[in-house]
Amino acid sequence: MSAPFTVILVDLDGTVMDSAPGITRSLAVALEELGLPVPPPALMVEFVGPPILDGLRDVAGLTGADAARTLERYRERYRRLGAFEAEPYAGIRDALERLRELAPLALATSKPETIATRILEHFGLAALFTVLAGASDDETRSAKADVIAHALALLDERGIDRSRPVMIGDRIHDVEGAAEHGIPTVVAGWGYGAPEEAAGAVAIARTPADLPGIVAAGAQDPG
C-alpha cells in the first residue's frame, strides 16, 4: 500500500537551476585573483550543490585563511553576476507546477537563502514554493540535514502537514541529508551527481517530466 506525500522538498542547483556556469566562473575568478590554483573543469563541477566551503576543502584543498578569502571573493562576484549566469532546466517549470498540485513545495538548498530567493524571483519561480529554505548567510547553517531541518520548521510555522515528506535533489548530499530525517529522496538524473550518488534514493527521475508521476505514486505505507 502507498500513501501520498504531503510536502515536497526541492533542491535548487542541479535540480531546478542549471547553475554551474555562474558558480564555476565565480570560483575560478576568485582563485585566480588570489593566485591560487584553479582545478580543472572536470573537478570544478564538484562545487555545484554542496556548501562552497566543503568544495574548497575537498576539491581545492583549501582550509583556514585561504578558504575564507576565496569564499569572500567568490561571494562578491557570485552575488553581482554569477547567480544569474544560470537557466532553469527545460521542463522544470511545468514539472513544479504539476508537483504543486500534488503537495506544497518547499525549497531546501545549501545555497544562502537570500541568494536563492533572488534567483527564484529573477526567473519567476519563487511563487511556486510555499517556503524557501536555504543556508544562513554566514553558512553556519549549510549542511543539507540542517537546511532540511530549517525547511521543516518553516513548514511547521505555516501549519503545513509534513508527515510524509519527500526530497528531490541531484547529489548524495541531498540523499544523505534527507535520510537523517527519515525522508526518502527522488534523484534528479539530469543534475550534477554521478550515478553512484543515487545510492539510497527511492527513485531516479530521468527528466523533469518524470517527477510528477513518481511523486504521485506516493510513499510506502508502513502500516
Domains of the chain: 2-18+87-220 (3.40.50.1000), 20-84 (1.10.150.240)
pLDDT on residue 48: 86
pLDDT on residue 139: 75
- Length of the chain measured in residues: 223
* pLDDT tens across the length of the chain (223 residues): 467 999 999 999 999 999 999 999 999 999 999 999 999 988 998 888 788 888 899 999 999 999 999 999 999 999 999 999 999 999 999 999 999 999 999 999 999 999 999 999 999 999 999 999 999 988 788 899 999 999 999 999 999 999 999 999 999 999 999 999 999 999 999 999 999 999 999 999 999 999 999 999 875 443 3
Global model pTM greater than 0.85: yes
Q: Which long-range contacts (CB under 8 A, 24 or more apart) does 78-82 make?
A: 78/22, 78/23, 78/26, 78/115, 79/115, 81/22, 81/26, 82/21, 82/22, 82/23, 82/25, 82/26
Of residues 11, 13, 54, 146, which has the active-site annotation?
11
Give the E-state strand segments of 69-130 in sequence order: 87-88, 105-112
- 11 belongs to the catalytic site: yes
